[in-house]
């Protein structure tokens, strides 16, 4: 195990699978006490059991709060700080994607993506920042490569990620006086569970558009989170870091 995050305490939302699970493992490998958040109790506990089987000595626990409920998030994060003495890293990774065409969108589906991808990030960030005001900290948001140029269908998803970028840049300026850094990672096409089940005829055209000739692995994204969480990036704030193999969408 490394020591880049030794002595630090981290919370990772969307930490039960894919990129979020890789972030949790990376933080633990580098010495951080890590709290993973899941959307449901059963998925959070399953991820916790898997982590403990792979890393029996890791300091990790699982929670499953309503991320969009700011009062609940304030209480949950305050409990994390009470239990471990500090909160250093807030990784806002929870999110959902959509590719619904405009004329097929249901209003409730558009509301849902904004609630999870934007409101939850706001709630978690505000609750974390309140606890970091005296000590500083690092807040890292999951954006997307489509936050730069949009996508051909499913306007709600890139709209939510443009909002993530806006929050990241604005809050980096507002919270800098407290030594709270706010950055975002913008993944490209990544080999998650959802992508893994796609047929080969869908995968090959995607990879052909990536100059580096492969899609990202979850660990590629987790490495970017590690850098932005660690003191190696102590003077970096307001950055939107693409991790996309040089693809331009």
Give pLDDT tens digits for 17-26: 999 999 999 9
Asked if 155 and 199 touch (Cβ cutoff 8 Å), the reply is no
**Per-residue confidence (pLDDT) for residue 198, from 0 to 100:** 65
| Helix, coil or strand: residue 63 | strand
Active site residue 157: yes
Cα angle vertex 97, ends 202, 47, to 5°? Answer: 95
- Mean pLDDT over 172-193 rounds to 96
User: Which tokens belong to 85?
Assistant: 């003495």
- What pLDDT is attached to residue 201? 80
Residue ranges of the domains in the chain?
9-237
Q: What is the pLDDT of residue 183?
A: 99
Residues 71-92 pLDDT 10s? 999 999 999 999 999 999 999 9
pLDDT above 80: residue 114: yes
For position 99, what pLDDT does the model report?
87
Judge whether 127 and 73 are in contact, CB under 8 Å: yes
Distance between CA 2 and CA 124 in Å, rounded?
Answer: 27
Architecture of domain 9-237: 3-Layer(aba) Sandwich (3.40)
Helix axes 18-29, 218-229, angle to 10 degrees: 50
Which among 21, 105, 122, 157 is annotated as catalytic?
157
**Which pLDDT score, from 0 to 100, does residue 249 have?**
64
- pLDDT over 80 at 2, yes or no: no
**Can you say whether the dihedral through the CA atoms of 198, 108, 170, 75 is positive or negative?**
negative
Mean pLDDT of 158-181: 98
Predicted confidence (pLDDT) at residue 100 exceeds the cutoff of 80: yes
């Amino acid at each position: 195990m490394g020591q880049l995050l030794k002595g630090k305490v981290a919370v990772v939302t969307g930490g039960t699978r894919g990129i979020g699970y890789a972030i949790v493992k990376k933080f633990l490998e580098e010495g951080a006490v890590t709290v993973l958040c899941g959307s449901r109790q059963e998925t959070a506990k399953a991820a916790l059991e898997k982590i403990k089987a792979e890393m029996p000595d890791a300091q990790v626990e699982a929670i499953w709060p309503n991320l969009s409920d700011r009062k609940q998030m304030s209480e949950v994060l305050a409990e994390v700080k009470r239990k471990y003495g500090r909160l250093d890293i807030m990784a806002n990774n929870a999110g959902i994607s959509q590719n619904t065409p405009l004329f097929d969108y249901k209003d409730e589906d558009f509301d849902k993506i904004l609630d999870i991808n934007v409101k939850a990030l706001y709630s978690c960030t505000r609750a974390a920042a309140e606890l970091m005001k005296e000590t500083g900290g690092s807040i890292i948001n999951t954006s997307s490569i489509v936050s730069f140029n949009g996508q051909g269908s499913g306007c709600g998803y890139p709209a939510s990620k443009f909002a993530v970028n806006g929050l990241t840049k604005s809050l980096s300026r507002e919270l800098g006086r407290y030594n709270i850094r706010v950055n975002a990672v913008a993944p490209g096409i990544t080999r998650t569970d959802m992508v893994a089940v796609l047929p080969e005829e869908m995968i090959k055209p995607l990879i052909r558009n990536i100059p580096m000739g492969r899609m990202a692995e979850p660990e590629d994204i987790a490495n970017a989170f590690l850098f932005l969480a660690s003191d190696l990036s102590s003077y970096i704030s307001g950055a939107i870091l693409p991790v996309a193999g040089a693809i331009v969408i």
